[in-house]
Structure 1
Amino acid sequence: MLALSAISFIFFILAALTLSIYLSRKRKGSQTVAGFFLANRANGFILVGASLYLSNLSANQLIGENESVYINNMSVIGWGVSSVFAMLLVAEYFIPIYLKSGINTVPEFLEKRYDSGTKNLVSLVFLLGYLLNLLPTTLYGGALALDSLFDISGYIQIDYWQTIWILVWFIGLVGVIFTVLGGLSAITISDTILSVGLLILMVAIPYFGLKYLGDDSVYQGLKTVLSNKKEHLNAIGGPQDAIPFSALFTGVFIANLYYWGMEQYIVQQIIAGKSLAESQKGVALTCFLKLLSPLLINIPGLIAVNLYVDLPHTASVFPLLARDVLPAAMSGLTAAILLGAAINTFNVGLNGASSLFIFNIYKPIFAKKHKEEVSEKRILRTGKLFQIGISLFAMSIAPFIIYSDKGFYFYIQKVSGIFSVPIFTILFLGFFKTKIPPIAAKAGIFFYIVCYIFTQFILNSSLHFLHWMGILFVATALLMFVIGRLYPMSQPFQLIQENKVEIVPWRNRGYYYALLLGLLILVYWIFSPFGIA
């Protein structure tokens, strides 16, 4: 059983990685700067949508959200399902701005809107977020998943801590080799391949899980889930739940709008679309996949509630269920998807961080120092060396996440709040308030970060951190408004159109947006006291 799972795992992961690198190199996706960092801006909507979905759906979510459902309830779907509304706003209002301005990175837009100092400061904040949060947690989540699926620590007779170290370095090394060889083009191709596997697992894991729970009867298993421990079925979170329902309109909304519309490695994949219409279609496809996601990242947690009692490591609930209920070959596919998702999220993080460093720090400093443009060959070499360096750093600190309390996923979201909201605030106001000066943006970033760290890590506050994110967003925005009133820009900001792709919007998008919003409401209705809870 274990041998067959391992063989199928190796087969699936090698097939996906090899095919991705081959197709990328055939498209010359790693031989130029535009190809390596932006896939030559040639991706259609399927590549855009699949890469966005896989970049977001890492092993962190598969593990973290199922863990949250197991120890709490379905309120954690607020991160994923409610993000559909934010994504549609991004598609309608943010993407046209980015594509019209012809930027390579988000801080480049901030340089156009404010000044180079703001660009440099935000680039630093982005890089710190990747180094301290995104990259280490992605590695840790992937390591945890593989150990739980194959019981590697038990098989080779070493302790849990040592196993996590070994697996973190295994995933990190495979990931950095893959992204250095293939660039963003290989990442988006592998995302599309892995998305097919994810769709299979969305059906297979609930089916086999319910069948296992119901003693070979899916109906009996479903009946057990719907009748036992019904408090876990509720997505309308209270004040003490993973995501209070009221937080969907404060911190969660801000975090989602930031993530899907301003996070560098996400925006980088959106602007890799061949046109505005293709990018908007790609985001709509991602929305649809996010609405299907509870089948994979939440429902297994509901099944596990009725199967396991007092797990020593609650974060292992998803891979443990997959190992117990799936056929051996399907268990190998699950491991391949988990590893592939971890590698791809890690890779887009590396690619995004490298883009920030190359376009916003290295190129300007080199050009200023040598008074000449840096060659493409030198840019590619430096970008790849930077990716190797930050991956080694992330691999060194990732295992220490084991000491975080309140759950793995809680750690990810709480720490990300340090970096996301200040960037969101200055970008959001920069879009719509054209006279706010650069000094207001810099003051806003420092003000928010200091206040958030104080309220979350020094002050013992009973208020949920998501509400603090909303409060501090308002306070930071007011501070920037006041500075803007006192020291307005002499000339209002005007966007200069420098588009590199066609910017005609998707013609029938309104009908699809309405359908997606209707499905969003339906999901919440099902998992509420008005539905099955």
Structure 2
Amino acid sequence: MSLVPLLTFVLFTAFVGFISYLKSRDEDLSHSTGYFLAGRSLSWYVIAGSLFLTNISAEQLTGLNGNAFSFGASVMAWETTSVITLIVLAVFFLPRYLKSGVTTVPQFLEERYGTGMRRVSSFIFLYALIIGFLPFVLYAGAITLGKLFDVSGLLGVSESSALWIMIVSLGVIGGCYAVFGGLKAVAVSDSINGVGLVVGGLIIPVLALIKLGGGDMGSGWSILVNEAPERMRAAGVDPDMGIPWHTLFTGMILINLFYWCTNQAIVQRALAAKTLAEGQKGVLGAAFLKLIGVSMLVLPGIVAWHMHQKGIIDVPVKSVGEDGSVVFHHDMAYPLLVREVLPAWLTGFFGAVMFGAILSSFNSGVNSMSTLFSLDIYKGMIRKDASDEQTVRAGKIFGSILIVVCIIIAPVISQADGLYTFMRTIMAVINVPILTVILFGVISKRGPALCGYIGLPFGMAFFAFANFYLENDFGVFKWHWLHSVGLNFVLMMLVMTIVRYLKPMPEPYVQKESGEVEIRNWRYLGLASGVAVVLLVALYVVFSDIGILNT
């Protein structure tokens, strides 16, 4: 590898770090509001960029493009349904969070159900971050950057050694951002890298189409829509295309509701808004970015499939079944595509923004872990009289320890069949149960804490049993795992409704206003939401048999 990619990588990374330092150096990081919520000072564009980049990281670029390599455009549902759930966050959840002035989602649960539920949910969120999120970010980032810069060949080590080197490097550097810089440094670096990632991410499919078309982008596009049009169909009407269309209305929308509306690592950015209106603008800005994200997260995977068929890239075989069926290591498709199409002078820049995106997701998760532990466990359970300085210090120590744990766990993920789907099923054990308990607490004013204490373990146990033991085969029928998520939601709501009517609260729950921020809706909230929905529908129409696939 020449020095040009490494030089551009170092320069852009150093630039982001320097700007983040300048923007956050005056922040009071000794107190919890300054460290965990950036002093409630984030503007809408910082929130939008941070939300987008926290979500769009290596596990998304590598994992979702890998799924697109195997199944085609139907996997874009993970992105497109996010638009709806971000609207729900802006309209329904965010006003309630900011009205209460909470720092964590478990705090909101405490206000509604009591201290016990806050503690239980804090441990569950920590499990989700430690087991179901951060190791995936490290692993995906390691294989993506490792292939992009050919770390194995550069250092003269084995692929497994290169994987470990990259995982440790990403974990240590990302942890330093989160542990020593607080949320402000994380959010600022997110915004800068977000611009770079959008630019770099959009360049990849353009260069890939040119490569596929033998130097002509139009010819490359023609190959996509004519040689295998079923792979460009947005709605999963073909049974072997990964995400059946009907799952969008059951488990898919529920999982994304959890992710965007109740996931601490995501919601924390919106909780740091100056005002409700500023937070709503940021959330809807992220929704529009998600529509653009399809071209970065799905299209390259489809192009990679065609390039593999034509021998332009060689995606390695992962396993061969007893019946002779071949399973490709599809998580390698995107990094191999990027390495093939990017010129040397752009490789360093793209590697830098990818590095920033990986750090964004990782350090955002570490910051959220520290927040949960410090405020909900350390100050809430271990040392209730702890000062702000002691609380922040405890969070930093805990975050540092958990970084080591995540580094150790990350390489194990290589044994899974598919990075993205595996991550989603692991998270589904806790995500919809948490969402359902929060949602029930908001819509049922007389639902007692007992609803949560019964509903939460019931929901976690049911999905784990249905998906991992029964493998979604109920004897008389077998369906997609996302339908089991939807069934779990229905059963949980039924169980909690029964408890509510058997043991109703004597007085209805009334939410109190903290006065932390100004609670006034953005004047264009309805218009912006409507435009986002129209664009979403148009996207599905365009990539359908009545759109560009009408041959």
Does residue 212 of structure 2 align to residue 213 of structure 1? yes
Q: Letter of the 1:136 partner, please give it.
A: P
Aligned match of 1:170 = 169
Map of 1:253 onto structure 2: 253
Residue 543 (structure 2) aligns with? 527
Q: Which residue of 2 aligns with 1:439?
A: 450
Give the match for residue 95 of structure 1.
Answer: 94
CA distance in structure 1 between the partners assigned to 2:181 and 2:295 by the alignment: 31
Q: Partners in 1 of 2:482 and 2:520 — Cα distance?
A: 37
Amino acid at match of 1:298: V
* 1:84-107 Cα distance to aligned partner (Å, 9 max, x none): 111111101111101111111111
1:505 corresponding residue in structure 2:
521
Residues 179 and 366 in structure 2, CA contact (< 8 A), matched pair in contact too:
no
Report whether the alignment pairs 1:516 with 2:526: no
C-alpha separation in 2, matches of 1:294 and 1:331:
21
Match of 1:423 in 2: 434
Q: What amino acid does structure 2 have at the position aligned with 1:401?
A: I
CA distance in 2, matches of 1:13, 1:146: 14
| Structure 2 SS opposite 1:94 | helix
Match of 2:5 in 1: 5
1:488 and 2:504 correspond: yes
* Matches for 1:405-420 after TM superposition, within 5 Å: 405=417, 407-420=418-431
Aligned AA (1:378): Q
Q: Following the alignment from structure 2 to structure 1, what is the Cα–Cα distance between the partners of residues 521 and 2?
A: 50
Q: Does 1:311 align with 2:315?
A: yes
Mapped partners of 2:240, 2:122: distance in 1? 35
Aligned to 2:295: 295
Report if aligned partners of 1:38, 1:185 keep a CA contact under 8 Å in 2. Answer: yes
Q: Does the CA-based 8 Å contact 2:375-2:391 persist in structure 1?
A: no
Residues 173-204 of structure 1: CA distance to partner in whole angstroms, max 9, x if unpaired? Answer: 00111112211000110111011112212431
2:519 partner SS: coil
The one of 476, 486, 490 equivalent to 2:492 is: 476
Structure 2 partner of 1:348: 364
1:402 aligns with 2:414: yes
Instruction: Please list the CA deviations of residues 356-393 of structure 1 after superposition, one character each: whole Å capped at 9, or x if unmatched.
Output: 1111111122444xxxx312221121110011011110
Structure 2 counterparts to residues 57-76 of structure 1, below 5 A: 57-76=56-75
* More divergent stretch after superposition (207-216 vs 436-445): 207-216
Once the two structures are TM-superposed, the CA of residue 29 in structure 1 deviates from its matched residue by 5.2
| SS of residue matched to 1:396 | helix
Q: Is the 8 A contact 1:277 1:503 kept in 2?
A: yes
Q: Which residue does 2:404 correspond to in 1? A: 392
Name the CA distance, whole Å, in 1 between partners of 2:71 and 2:509. Answer: 47
Q: How far apart are the structure 1 equivalents of 2:382 and 2:72?
A: 52
Q: Distance in 1 between matches of 2:532 and 2:93?
A: 19
1:211-248 CA deviation, whole Å, 9 max, x = no partner? 11222212222222222222211121144432211111
- Name structure 2 gaps, 5 residues minimum: 317-328
Q: Take 1:294 and 1:3, find their aligned partners in 2: how far apart are those partners?
A: 32
Q: Match for residue 326 of structure 2?
A: none
Match of 1:179 in 2: 178
- 1:5 deviation in Å? 1.6
* CA offset digits 1:481-511 (Å, max 9, x no partner): 0011111111111101113011111012211
Task: Supply the AA of the counterpart residue of 1:232.
Answer: R
Which residues of 2 match residues 4-403 of structure 1 at below 5 A?
Answer: 4-26=4-26, 28=27, 30-238=29-237, 239-309=239-309, 311-312=315-316, 313-368=329-384, 373-403=385-415
Report the residue type matching 2:414 in the other structure.
I
DSSP 3-state at the match of 1:193? helix
Structure 1 residue 2, shift from structure 2 partner: 4.0
- Pick which of 119-128 and 523-532 moved more: 523-532
The size of the alignment, in residue pairs, is 527
Q: State how far apart, in whole Å, the 2-side matches of 1:299 and 1:467 are.
A: 26
Secondary structure of the corresponding residue to residue 548 of structure 2: coil
* Offset of residue 56 of structure 1: 0.8
- Supply the AA of the counterpart residue of 1:439: L
Amino acid at match of 2:409: I
Bigger shift: residues 376-385 or 214-223: 214-223
Equivalent position SS for 1:306: helix
1:70-125 C-alpha deviation (Å, 9 max, x unpaired): 11111111111121111111101111101111111111111111111111111111
Q: CA deviation at 1:338?
A: 1.6
Do the aligned partners of 1:73 and 1:231 also contact (CA within 8 Å) in 2? yes
Gaps of 5+ in 1: none
Separation of aligned partners in 1, 2:371 and 2:300:
36
Note closer, same or farther for the CA distance 1:446–1:366 as it changes in structure 2 (3 Å cut).
closer
Deviations 1:141-165 (A, max 9, x none): 1001111111212333322222211
CA contact (8 A) 2:459 2:492 kept: yes
Distance in 2 of aligned mates of 1:433 and 1:232: 43
Contact 1:29 1:182 in 2 (8 A): no
Matches of 1:522 and 1:271, distance apart in 2: 31
TM-score (norm 2): 0.93
**Amino acid of the structure 2 residue aligned with 1:130:** L
SS in 1 for 2:25: helix
Query: Offset at 1:457?
Result: 1.2
- Residues 48 and 284, structure 2, Cα contact 8 Å, conserved in 1: yes
**Which one-letter code corresponds to 1:245 in the other structure?**
W
User: Which one-letter code corresponds to 1:271 in the other structure?
Assistant: L
> Secondary structure at the residue paired with 1:81?
helix
Q: Secondary structure of the equivalent of 2:308?
A: coil
Equivalent pair of 1:24/1:30 in contact (CA under 8 Å): no
| Equivalent-residue separation in structure 2 for 1:506 and 1:298 (angstroms) | 32
Higher mean alpha-carbon deviation, 306-315 vs 331-340, is at 306-315
Indicate which of 447, 457, 466 corresponds to 2:468. 457
Contact kept in structure 2, 1:76 and 1:242, CA below 8 Å? yes
Q: Could you report, residue by residue, the CA deviation over 1:269-301 in whole angstroms, capped at 9, with x for unpaired residues?
A: 101000000000001100110000012111111
Cα distance in 2 for partners of 1:130, 1:505 equals: 31
Distance 2:380 2:62 in 1: 40
